[in-house]
Amino acid sequence: MERRKLRHRGACRQRLSLGNLCATAVVCAAAAAALAELGHGLGSVEKSRHSAALRIPACLLQPSQLPRRRALLPAIAVGLLPLVFEVAQLPAAATFGNALPEAAAVVDTNNGIRPGDLGLDVRKLNRKGKTTGFDALKSCPDAAVPNCLSTTMDFFRQNQINSLLVPWKIPAGAKPEEALAELRKLIQDYPPGQDGVDAGGFRLVEAKPTYLYAQFANSIALISDVEFAVRQDGTVLLRSAARSMSADPFGVVRTPPDGLASAKRLNYFASRLRQVGWTAPDITRETHPEYFKDNVDTSPGFTFQRKPGQ
């Protein structure tokens, strides 16, 4: 009787050990796939999210059917580590197809982390519950980093960079759909690398009658999300924001300034739209002194931190 109990306990311990290992393998595989997905960003430049998946053999999940379990445990554990590490280290996606040659040749790329709440929605403006009262674009809540400009008010304006833009206006008498079609044509004809920005190219992601969403990439493929929306009264909402970089192998997420890319990009469109009757003021050192002043280091890996009291 006592021997049977001991054998039973030993068998249970073996099953638990293998079961724990299998559970760990599944978790590691899922985590590795998530890391790879995070590093790829979105769009036509990304690989399938399923390319990073690891398949766990069914026999690992059925200990009773696996011979010599104890002998295989170390081999399984050692074998999983390089697989997980390899998946986690998958390089980020390349630049867009219309990138400049020097940007397309860059190997160490980083698409960044796509915000989850782009598009039009009623936006919260402060902690007291004040909202825009109408569908608006996302604000720049992390306004301590000079990498975003938007026509929606800053969530926390005090002691932060002014990222608020004046809405544009379409020509008097123009229909919103027709006006936005003009802007869409400008985006499609945009020259990557103009004024030293967007060398990684661009693509138009979403085009609705009164809403446009495009992605622009810098020389390391870090993406900026750019949106335009025309309201029925002819007011044009706009937002341009560089992403935070995807986490490195140690889990560190860096948020660099945009090197004035948002201003240069929007000014390119504004100058051409003014020629056809739009009201679209430039973004200048006078209109956004903090944004211009703090964009002094344009290196992709730079993490901006404001000093206390600034």
Task: Note the pLDDT tens digit of each residue in 164-181.
Answer: 899 999 999 999 999 999
What does the pLDDT read at residue 257? 82
What does the pLDDT read at residue 258? 87
Query: 45-49, 108-112, 273-277: which range is least confident on average?
Result: 45-49
The number of beta carbons lying within 10 Å of the beta carbon of residue 72 is: 16
Q: At what angle do helices 69-88 and 2-40 cross, to 10 degrees?
A: 10
What does the pLDDT read at residue 245? 78
Q: Are 261 and 254 in contact (CB under 8 A)?
A: no
Q: Which helix (H) or strand (E) holds 242?
A: strand 235-242
Of 18 and 113, the one with more pLDDT: 113
The number of beta carbons lying within 10 Å of the beta carbon of residue 8 is: 10
Q: 140-166: buried (b, 16+ CB within 10 Å) or exposed (e) per residue?
A: bebbbbbbbbbbbbbbeeeebbbbbbe
pTM: 0.64
Sign of the alpha-carbon torsion through 7, 12, 18, 20:
negative
Looking at the predicted structure, is the pLDDT value of residue 190 above 60?
yes
pLDDT tens figures, 220-245: 888 999 999 999 999 999 999 998 77
Start-end of CATH 3.30.310.80 domains in the chain: 101-294
Residue 127 pLDDT class (50, 70, 90 cuts): low
The CATH H-level superfamily of 101-294 is: Kinase associated domain 1, KA1 (3.30.310.80)
Read off the pLDDT of each residue in 9-18 and give the average, rounded to a whole number: 48
CA–CA separation, 7 vs 2, rounded Å? 9
